Amino acid sequence: MKRLVVALFALPVTLTAAQPPSQPQGGFVPIDQLPAPESFPAAPLVIAAYAVAWLAIFFYVWSIWRRLNRVEAELKDALKRSEPRGRA
Amino acid sequence: MKKTFPILIVLAAMLFAYAPVAIGRAPYESTMGLVQKIFYFHVPSWFAMFLSTFVCGIASIVYLARRHRTADAVAAAAAELVVIFGLIGLITGPLWARRAWGVWWQWDAKLTTALVLWLIFVAYLLLRRYGGPGSERLGAGLALFGMANVPFVYWSVHIWRTVHPLTTVVPTLPRPMAGPLWLGVTAFLLLALLLLALRTRLERLRRQLDDVYLALEP
């Protein structure tokens, strides 16, 4: 019995909590005054997406190639400088 | 590896050259139309990012356990790839979302966890660049956190309510759409492996150079 009473009291609370928060409408707008739906063309987005992917890959490959060349040249130079010491 | 490297480069170049043809032939998706074609580069970039994340994480475990210098070089190389492929995914995604959802970005679980994963590896690179001595071990720990984040990114669409398409989209793709996708995935994974090999070579040369400079010091 106790459980039933608790359940009866809890029911409105549960139902109220389950409702979405109500927001009263502040004014009425005729349907013909609605702003036109935003149209966003797909082609520029697709082109931009593929361009970004290609640019990122090319930039990264170029960056590795440049860094490799620099380090290889520096290593060659350092090894040359270390040779006389090694012989001495 | 020296012999197979040029063959793999040619293979990757062929796959990337054929990809636009295959993507062009793929049918339009019924609700999204043309913009859905971003999918054929967007998803493969995440595949490449996840592969790089696992390579970085596993190499970091090996480094922490054995202090193996090559493992650390592989981890540093893979972390850079995570950032590059993640950047492609994070830019192509919003371009697709703008048309499909009407917004560039949504702070839902999938997108947020993906961004967090990317930021972890940006932090890794900054740590390795400016962290000074000992940053290798700290970086390795950070890479483990990054790797642990991958399952959350992948399954987030099933755990939480998100606007992002579910992972079930890929295995249920009809054949005309699955072909270009797997071609893209193969091309991106191959590219990731080639870049990993190149970047690891750079890291090893840098260490060799450091050793030579140390030997030159009086």
Residue of A nearest to B28 (CA): A42
Residue B60's pLDDT is what?
Answer: 96
Minimal CA separation from B202 to chain A, in Å: 6
CB < 8 Å to B199, chain A: 64
Beta bridge partners, B33, equal: B29
Please give the backbone phi and psi of residue B33, each rounded to the nearest 5 degrees, phi first: 70, -140
Could you give the CA distance from residue B110 to residue B160 in angstroms, rounded to a whole number? 8
What residues of chain A lie within 8 A of the CB of B42, using their CB?
Answer: 49
Chain B residue whose CA is closest to A52:
B88
pLDDT of residue B48: 97
Query: Cα(first)–Cα(last) distance of chain A, in Å?
Result: 102
Q: What is the pLDDT of residue B66?
A: 92
Chain A and chain B share a number of CB contacts under 8 A equal to 77
Q: Which chain A residues touch B100 with a CB distance below 8 Å? A: none
A84 touching B, CB under 8 A? no
Residue A87 has pLDDT above 60, yes or no: no
pLDDT at A17: 52
Take residue B112 and report the two structure tokens written for it.
Answer: 């947020």
All structural domains of chain B, each given as residue ranges with its CATH number in brackets, are 4-216 (1.20.120)
Averaged pLDDT for residues A58-67: 95
**B92·A71 Cβ contact <8 A:** no
- Per-run averaged pLDDT (10 residues), chain B, 218 residues: 84 92 90 91 96 97 93 96 96 93 91 96 96 91 94 91 88 91 96 95 92 83
* Model ipTM over 0.85: yes
Contact yes or no for B205 and A75 at CB 8 A = yes
Dihedral sign (CA B183, B169, B85, B88) = positive
Query: What is the reported pLDDT for B192?
Result: 96
- For residue B46, list chain A residues with Cβ-Cβ distance below 8 A: none
B contacts of A84 (beta carbons < 8 Å): none
Q: How many helices (H) and strands (E) does chain B have?
A: 6, 0
CA distance B40 to chain A (A): 10
pLDDT of A38 strictly over 70? no
Q: What is the DSSP string of B76-89?
A: HHHHHHHHHHHHHH
Angle between helices B175-216 and B4-25 (to 10 degrees): 150
Mean of the pLDDT values across residues A29-52?
81
Which residues does chain B have within 8 Å of residue A39's beta carbon, measured at their own beta carbons? none
| Residue A21 scores a pLDDT above 80 | no
**How far is B82 from B122, CA to CA, in rounded Å?**
9
3-state secondary structure of B158: helix
Please give the Cα distance from B34 to A81 (Å, whole number): 60
Give the number of other CB atoms < 10 A from CB of residue B78. Answer: 27
* Chain B nearest-CA residue for A81: B216
Q: Do A57 and B198 touch (CB under 8 A)?
A: no
The predicted structure's pLDDT at residue A88: 47
d(CA A43, CA A33) in angstroms, rounded, equals 29
